[in-house]
């Protein structure tokens, strides 16, 4: 077991212990020991196929359904292993929300998209439900744009608005940890900027973990950054330190654009 | 100059000549294929059109308010086909109510568990084979099981059971394929939100697949309502002059219906005048056309709503 990479001064929100993932015997992630600090934005960067998305999806067990997947090690949330026998996936995902690369609003109204989670998880209805929906849409910086057309289809929105709708949908479930898998890679620059501002804002109240292939984005939005290569964490630290004074030569080569 | 960069494999000026020759060949081939496909397409459309036109031409004069609302009179030689229309609608209604839950549930099972379990793969193959089974086989099966073994007799309820068997396989298959068109990203979105597998299916996948499922149900019923053989030995009566009264008894009695009336009426040319047969024929076609139009309408309405 390698030493857990943690930020000593920070409380840990979620932590991996010797986490390894393979698909059909092909290793995708090897012995990852990371402690993600609470109420901060952590970016995961690295070349394509380095395992950063696999790592992210391991944190709310979204890899489980992939045929041929083998997951070893632990992921500790509130001190408990989320891969332990008998863990309730609904409870886990209520606490650990996720947004995907391509916006995936459900084929229903804007309101219904956001209301579905709180209705099913907390049995909210009527005024309480409407208030939760409004609160989530406000936190996702979408409320002012959609407040008069909540009954319209979520798919009628622009790509950037759809992604913010997906963020609102996630926030309405009241999670503490937000996982984002390249949330801007399908968006235009202006939408990207809005989502980036949103992520910075969310980082004040939530533990946000963002996978990105955009190094400038990682530098702009995150407090901490992990650099992955070949399924291993090469370097981990405060974003500024990692970008300005990388400790490992691989990190330096990557962020100077020599490969990847 | 462009020429300077071109390969010397052929003389520099030749490139344009070669390209022009290919252009001519391509245009010729295009014209040929376009005319072949156009002709075949036109022939298909014409065939259907002529068929419907003949039936409409022969049948239209017969169709009247009286024809649609009155029972046959004078030993089937006059009057209308109201009991046959009513019987066909009744048969269809029962098949709809019974086959829909069975077929949709079966389709859900296959779509959800189909790939992993060997049993489900076997089921899929069996259902596909059943969907291609000739309707007469269902008719004979219904006779053996529902009419004789279960002592239903030749009755509406035996017809319902038989038509249900006939409709279920195709509804299973269309439900399954409609559910498989649900994007994986939507399913992932539901699961990531903490929804259970069944909640994801019920709240996200089913609504998305609903237009496809409904279309499949309606098309299957449209096929069933036009088939004579499943109800031939199980539910049909030919000579029906009685005023139909609907009640619990109706379940245990045979019903007249359009396809059986057509088949049997046509076999007895002296009894039923030809104009009545044509009229019933057109009525049946209009009934199935209405069903198909309904299917198209439902599909476009639902698609427009949120997709």
Tell me the average confidence (pLDDT) per consecutive run of 10 residues in chain B, 307 residues long. 72 88 95 96 95 92 88 80 88 92 92 79 89 90 89 87 93 93 93 92 91 89 88 78 66 85 83 87 92 85 71
CB-CB contact of A218 with A212 (8 Å): yes
In a domain, B30, yes or no: yes
- CA angle B277-B283-B285, nearest 5°? 105
Looking at B132-228, list the stretches that DSSP marks H as alpha helix, in order from N- to C-terminal side: 135-142, 156-180, 184-192, 197-200, 206-226
Residue B65 within a domain: no
Query: Does ipTM exceed 0.85?
Result: yes
Closest partner residue to A100 among B185, B195, B203, by Cβ?
B185
Contact list, B307 vs chain A (CB under 8 Å): 107, 153, 155
Chain B residues touching residue A173 (CB < 8 angstroms): 193-194
Interchain contact, B191 vs A62, CB within 8 Å: yes
pLDDT digits (tens, 9 = 90+) for B107-141: 998 888 777 778 888 888 899 999 989 999 999 99
Same domain, B99 and B17: no
Is residue B64 included in any domain, yes or no?
A: no
Contact between B148 and B166 under an 8 Å Cβ cutoff? The reply is no
* Chain A residue numbers touching B193 (CB-CB < 8 A): 93, 97, 116-117, 169-170, 173
Q: Are B226 and B261 found together in one domain?
A: yes
Contact flag B193-A102 (C-beta cutoff 8 Å): no
Q: Angle at Cα A246 formed by Cα A242 and Cα A247, nearest 5°?
A: 120
* Contact between chains at B203 and A120 (C-beta distance less than 8 A): yes
- Containing A32, the helix (H) or strand (E) segment is strand A26-32
Say if residue B133 is in the same domain as residue B191. yes
- Examine the domain organization and report whether B9 and B34 are in the same domain: yes
Contact between chains at A116 and B305 (C-beta distance less than 8 A):
no
Question: pTM of this prediction?
Answer: 0.82
For chain A, 260 residues long, give each residue's pLDDT as a single digit of tens.
456 777 767 788 999 999 999 999 899 999 999 999 999 999 999 988 888 999 999 999 999 888 889 999 999 998 899 999 889 999 999 999 999 999 999 989 999 999 999 999 999 999 999 999 999 999 988 999 999 999 999 999 999 999 999 999 999 999 999 999 999 988 888 888 989 999 999 999 999 999 998 888 999 999 999 999 999 999 999 999 999 888 898 888 888 887 76
> Are residues B48 and B87 part of one domain?
no
Q: What is the pLDDT of residue B307?
A: 61
Look at A97 and B207 and tell me if their CB atoms are within 8 Å: no
Contact yes or no for A93 and B189 at CB 8 A? no
H or E element that contains A232? strand A232-238
Smallest CA–CA separation between A153 and chain B, in Å?
5
Asked if B203 reaches chain A (Cβ–Cβ under 8 Å), the answer is yes
- Measured CA to CA, the distance from residue A182 to residue B58 in angstroms comes to 66
Which pLDDT value is given to residue B79? Answer: 82
Using the beta-carbon criterion (under 8 Å), do B203 and A121 form an inter-chain contact? no
Give yes or no: residues B212 and B291 share one domain.
yes
**Shared-domain flag, residues B140 and B251:** yes
Nearest to B306 among A60, A90, A107 (CB): A107
**B150 Cβ partners below 8 Å, 6+ apart?**
B158
| Any domain includes B91 | yes
- Locate all alpha helices (DSSP H) within A47-140, ordered by sequence: 52-58, 89-95, 110-122, 126-139
Query: B189, B193, B195: which to substitute to probe chain A, counting the most A Cβ within 10 Å?
Result: B193
Q: For residue B210, which residues of chain A lie inside 8 Å, CB to CB?
A: none
Verify whether the Cβ–Cβ distance A100 to B190 is below 8 Å.
Answer: no
**The token pair that represents A195 in the structure block:** 């989502």
Give the domain-ending residue among B38, B59, B80.
B59
> What is the per-residue pLDDT for B162?
93
Same domain, B44 and B106: no
Q: Does A203 touch chain B (CB under 8 A)?
A: no
Position A1 scores a pLDDT of: 45
Q: Looking at the 3D structure of chain B, how many domains does it have?
A: 2
Question: How close does chain A come to B65, measured CA to CA in Å?
Answer: 44
Domain identity same for B194 and B267: yes
Q: Which of A60, A102, A109 is closest, CB to CB, to B192?
A: A60
Q: What is the CATH number of the domain that holds B302?
A: 1.10.3720.10
Contact A200, A41 (CB under 8 A): yes
Question: Which domain-ending residue is among B18, B37, B59?
Answer: B59
Residues B176 and B243 in one domain: yes
Considering only alpha carbons, which residue of chain A is nearest residue B195? A90
Write down the pLDDT at residue B305: 67
- Kindly state whether residues B118 and B240 are assigned to the same domain: yes
Contact list in A for residue B306 (CB cut-off 8 A) is 107-109, 153-155
Range of the domain at B42: 3-59
How far is the alpha carbon of A68 from chain B, nearest alpha carbon, in Å? 12
What residue of B is the nearest CA neighbor of A92?
B194
* B249 and B193 co-located in one domain: yes
Q: What is the pLDDT of residue B174?
A: 94
pLDDT at A177: 95
CATH 3.30.450.20 fits A12-100+178-255, yes or no: no
């Amino acid at each position: 077991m390698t030493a857990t990479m943690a930020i000593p001064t920070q409380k840990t929100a979620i932590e991996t212990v010797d986490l390894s993932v393979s698909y059909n015997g092909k290793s995708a992630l090897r012995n990852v020991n990371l402690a993600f600090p609470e109420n901060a934005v952590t970016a995961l960067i690295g070349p394509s196929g380095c395992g950063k998305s696999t790592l992210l999806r391991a944190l709310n067990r979204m890899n489980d359904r992939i045929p041929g997947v083998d997951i070893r090690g632990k992921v500790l949330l509130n001190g408990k292993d989320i891969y332990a026998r008998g863990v309730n996936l609904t409870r886990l995902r209520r606490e650990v929300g996720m947004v995907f690369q391509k916006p995936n609003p459900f084929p229903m109204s804007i309101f219904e998209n956001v209301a579905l989670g709180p209705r099913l998880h907390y049995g909210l209805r009527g005024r309480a439900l409407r208030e939760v929906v409004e609160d989530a849409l406000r936190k996702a910086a979408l409320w002012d744009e959609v407040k008069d057309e909540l009954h319209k289809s979520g798919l009628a929105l622009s790509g950037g608005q759809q992604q913010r709708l997906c963020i609102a949908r996630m926030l309405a479930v009241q999670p503490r940890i937000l996982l984002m898998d390249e949330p801007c890679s399908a968006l235009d620059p202006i939408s990207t900027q809005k989502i980036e501002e949103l992520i910075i804002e969310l980082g004040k109240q939530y533990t946000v973990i963002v996978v990105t292939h955009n190094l400038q984005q990682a530098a702009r939005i995150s407090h901490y950054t992990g650099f992955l290569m070949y399924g291993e964490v090469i370097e981990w630290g405060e974003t500024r330190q990692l970008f300005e004074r990388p400790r490992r030569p691989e990190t330096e080569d990557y962020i100077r654009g020599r490969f990847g | 100059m462009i020429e300077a960069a071109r390969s010397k494999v052929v003389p520099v000026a030749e490139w344009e000549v070669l390209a022009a020759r290919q252009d001519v060949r391509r245009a010729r081939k295009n014209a040929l294929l376009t005319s072949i496909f156009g002709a075949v397409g036109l022939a298909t459309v014409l065939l259907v059109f002529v068929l419907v036109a003949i039936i409409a031409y022969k049948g239209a004069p017969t169709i009247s308010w009286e024809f649609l609302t009155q029972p046959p009179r004078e030993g089937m030689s006059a009057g209308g086909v109201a009991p046959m229309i009513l019987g066909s609608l009744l048969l269809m209604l029962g098949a709809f109510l019974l086959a829909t839950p069975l077929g949709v549930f079966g389709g859900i099972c296959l779509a959800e568990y189909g790939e992993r379990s060997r049993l489900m793969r076997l089921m899929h193959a069996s259902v596909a084979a059943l969907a291609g089974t000739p309707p007469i086989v269902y008719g004979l099966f219904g006779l053996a099981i529902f009419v004789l073994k279960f002592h239903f007799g030749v009755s509406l309820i035996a017809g319902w059971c038989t038509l249900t068997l006939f409709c279920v396989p195709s509804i299973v298959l269309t439900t399954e394929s409609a559910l498989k068109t649900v994007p994986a990203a939507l399913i992932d979105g539901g699961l990531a939100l903490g929804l259970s597998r069944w909640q994801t299916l019920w709240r996200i996948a089913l609504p998305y697949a609903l237009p496809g499922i409904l279309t499949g149900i309606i098309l299957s019923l449209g096929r069933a309502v036009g088939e004579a053989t499943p109800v031939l030995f199980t539910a049909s009566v030919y000579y029906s002059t009685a005023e139909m009264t609907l009640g619990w008894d109706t379940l245990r009695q045979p019903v007249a219906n359009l396809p059986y009336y057509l088949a049997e009426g046509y076999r007895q040319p002296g009894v039923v005048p030809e104009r009545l047969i044509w009229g019933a024929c057109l009525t049946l076609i209009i009934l199935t056309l209405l069903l198909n139009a309904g299917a198209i309408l439902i599909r476009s309405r639902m698609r427009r709503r949120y997709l």
